Amino acid sequence: MEYSVVMSGFGGQGVLMMGELLAHCGMKAGLNVTWMPSYGVEMRGGAANCTVVLSENQIGAPITGTPKAVIAMSEPALDKFGSRLPENGLLMINSSLVCKDNSTYGQNGIKTVFIPTRELAEESGNEKMANLAMLGAFLAQTGVLELERVKKEVRSFLPPHKSNLAEGIEKALLKGKEYIDSL
């Protein structure tokens, strides 16, 4: 079973970090993983994205034309990547920033979930953790990895000088999960 997700948004929203944490935890869980970032000119244009693939088998392509899920943290990201979802894909939208009408999405069996990431991050105690609230929601929605597994590996992921962020990250991840549970 192979799972591929495209995480996209503005540079600075932490989409690359969100993907890297997922890949790191997948590796720690014994899966094969790839993390492929956008780079160079795309960053200068203000957009960032990465593709994460997790699999029990050897991974071929680190990129895909048909991801299982797309996370859109911004409206340009939604416009660019939302349309790549195949039938029955999962679309997770940052509703704190994207104000598109719900009805536009959810065709072809695509499941669309709106996550108020900023509000959830604020509730968790740090509004900068919106990306992690989204990741928590993504994990709860998909079950790709156990939230507990991810929380456990936050500290092995962070460089030593950023270890003070671990608790805040764990709280934001949990907020995202709780939001999905409440739906």
Partner 1 sequence: MTEKQLLKGSVALAQGAIDAGCRYYFGYPITPQNDIPEYLSAALPAVGGVFIQAESELASINMVLGAAASGKMAMTSSSGPGISLMQEGLSYLAGSELPAVVVNITRSGPGLGGIAPTQGDYMQATRGGGHGDYRLIVLAPNSAQEMYDLAGEAFRLAFKYRNPAMILGDAILGQMKEPVMLREALSPPQNSPWALSGAKDRQPRLVKSLYLKDGEMTVHNLKLLDKYKALQEKEVKVEIDCPTRCDLIVVAFGSCSRIARTAVDRACLQGLKVGLVRPISLFPFPEKAVREEAQKAGRVLVVEMNTGQMLEDVKLACNGNSEVYFKSYPGGAVPTPEEIEKEIEVIVGKGGLRHVNSS
Q: List residues binding partner 1 (CB under 8 A).
A: 20, 23-24, 27, 32-37, 39-41, 59-66
Q: How far is the CB of 48 from partner 1 (least distance, A)?
A: 13
Choice between 44 and 182, CB closer to partner 1: 44
Tell me the C-alpha distance between 135 and 13, whole Å: 12
Residues with Cβ within 8 Å of residue 8, at least 6 apart in sequence? 15, 47, 48, 49, 70, 71, 72, 73, 74, 77, 78, 80, 81
| In the complex, least distance from residue 94 CB atom to partner 1, rounded to whole angstroms | 24
Closer to partner 1 by CB, 46 or 86: give it. 86
CA nearest to 112, candidates 133, 143, 132, 88 = 88
Which C-beta is closer to partner 1: that of 59 or that of 165?
59
- Nearest-approach distance from CB 21 to partner 1, in angstroms: 10
Q: Please, which residue, 20 or 170, has the CB nearer to partner 1?
A: 20
Nearest distance from residue 70's CB to partner 1, in Å? 15
